[in-house]
Amino acid sequence: MLKVERMSKHFGGVYANRDVSLEVAEGELRGVIGPNGAGKSTLFNLIAGHLRPDAGSISLAGAHIDRLPPHVRARRGVAIVFQGARLFAGMSLLQNVMVGAHARSRAGLVSAAFRPPAQRREEREIRTQAEQCLDRVGLLELADRPAEGLPLGQQRRLQVARALAGRPRLLLLDEPASGLRAAERTQLADLIRELNGAGTTILLVEHDVGMVTSLAHRITVLDLGTVIADGTPAEVTSDPAVVKAYLGTGADHAAHH
């Protein structure tokens, strides 16, 4: 499904990603963990197309996508939920989600001007489907509210709904649980499990190691821009290199508190 091969990206002299390889199977829920500065966000931005790799390649379902701009990758089925809010201010929740349907609709300015039946039908479909996506994340009753000023948990869920509106094949979640309260985390974990159960391939970057190990089929561990481990949650958490680089310091940290 997703194949990243020996991909590198450096900023000045610092490698954010170095020779990163990673293969995600169709329907898989892959976790990506690593300490701060491990290159997780860079990896996501490279896959979504907001950064260009200096070396290596990315392919989706057998086709190279590393030279495509982000909006074309969206059309190919890549959706991303950003760590920051990145909502569309001045638009309602429903309209935010309707923008997400851009990836799989086509009407342009000319059909907006003349409103032929095909355009009206597409608009109705987009609206209905956006409402379903909002319903799925539990925000339907807020559909007509403006998107700005939403509490963090709802912002995250709105972003998930927006991503779903494009009916993605590959969903990238960049630390979706950060800043959420325990109850919201559980809700979000349930939602992620449900989406993956419905067939969406998911790549999940998360600081909350417990959440990743409970959700992911396999986990890739990054440290200082390189992959240091790749395997099932059990394999990865017992890997000495991982314990040293990440879990070890985390455990020390936890022990001190």
Partner 1 sequence: MAPVMSRVMSRPQPRTALVVLACVAACVAPLVLPDLTFFMRMVMAAIVVTGLSMLMGYSGQASLGQGAFVAAGALTVAVGTTRFELPPLVALLAAPLVAAGFAALVGVPLLRLHGHYLAFGTLALLLMVQAAMSTFDVLGGALGVSGIPPLGVGDRVVVGQLPYVYLALGCLGLVLLLSHRTVHSRFGRGIQALAGSQTAAESAGVPVNRSKVTIFALSAGYAGLAGGLSAFFTPYVSPDSFPALESFTYVIMAVVGGLGTIWGGVVGAVIVSVLLQVLNTVSSQPGLPPTAAPIMQYATYGALLVLALLFMPRGVVPSVDAGVGRLLERARVEAPG
Judged by the rule CB under 8 A, the positions of this chain that interact with partner 1 are 48-50, 69-71, 73-75, 78-80, 82, 86-96, 98-105, 107-109, 111-113, 115, 119, 122-123, 126, 143-146, 162, 166
Please state the closest distance from residue 32 (CB atom) to partner 1, in A. 18
Please state the closest distance from residue 135 (CB atom) to partner 1, in A. 16
CA–CA separation, 56 vs 26, rounded Å?
21
Please state the closest distance from residue 104 (CB atom) to partner 1, in A. 8
Nearer to partner 1, 56 or 77 (CB): 77
Nearer to partner 1, 108 or 240 (CB): 108
**Would you call 144 helix, strand, or coil by DSSP?**
coil
The continuous run of DSSP H or E covering 96 comes out as helix 93-100
Nearer to partner 1, 98 or 227 (CB): 98
**Residue of 215, 242, 208 lying closest to 227 (CA atoms):** 242
Q: Which two tokens stand for residue 191?
A: 């939602």
Alpha carbon of residue 137 to chain centroid: 15
Please state the closest distance from residue 76 (CB atom) to partner 1, in A. 10
User: Are the CB atoms for 34 and 207 separated by under 8 Å?
Assistant: no
Nearer to partner 1, 48 or 245 (CB): 48
Nearer to partner 1, 35 or 146 (CB): 146
Q: Which two tokens stand for residue 249?
A: 């310091």
Please state the closest distance from residue 111 (CB atom) to partner 1, in A. 8
Nearer to partner 1, 129 or 237 (CB): 129
Nearer to partner 1, 159 or 196 (CB): 159
User: Are the CB atoms for 185 and 177 separated by under 8 Å?
Assistant: yes
Count the residues in the chain.
257
Instruction: Provide CB contacts within 8 A for 38, sequence distance 6+.
Output: 222, 223, 224, 225
Bridge partners (DSSP) listed for residue 115: none
Sign of dihedral through CA atoms 7, 11, 12, 18? negative
Please state the closest distance from residue 207 (CB atom) to partner 1, in A. 21
Please state the closest distance from residue 133 (CB atom) to partner 1, in A. 12
- Paired sense of beta strands 55-60 and 63-64, if any: antiparallel
CA–CA separation, 220 vs 199, rounded Å?
20
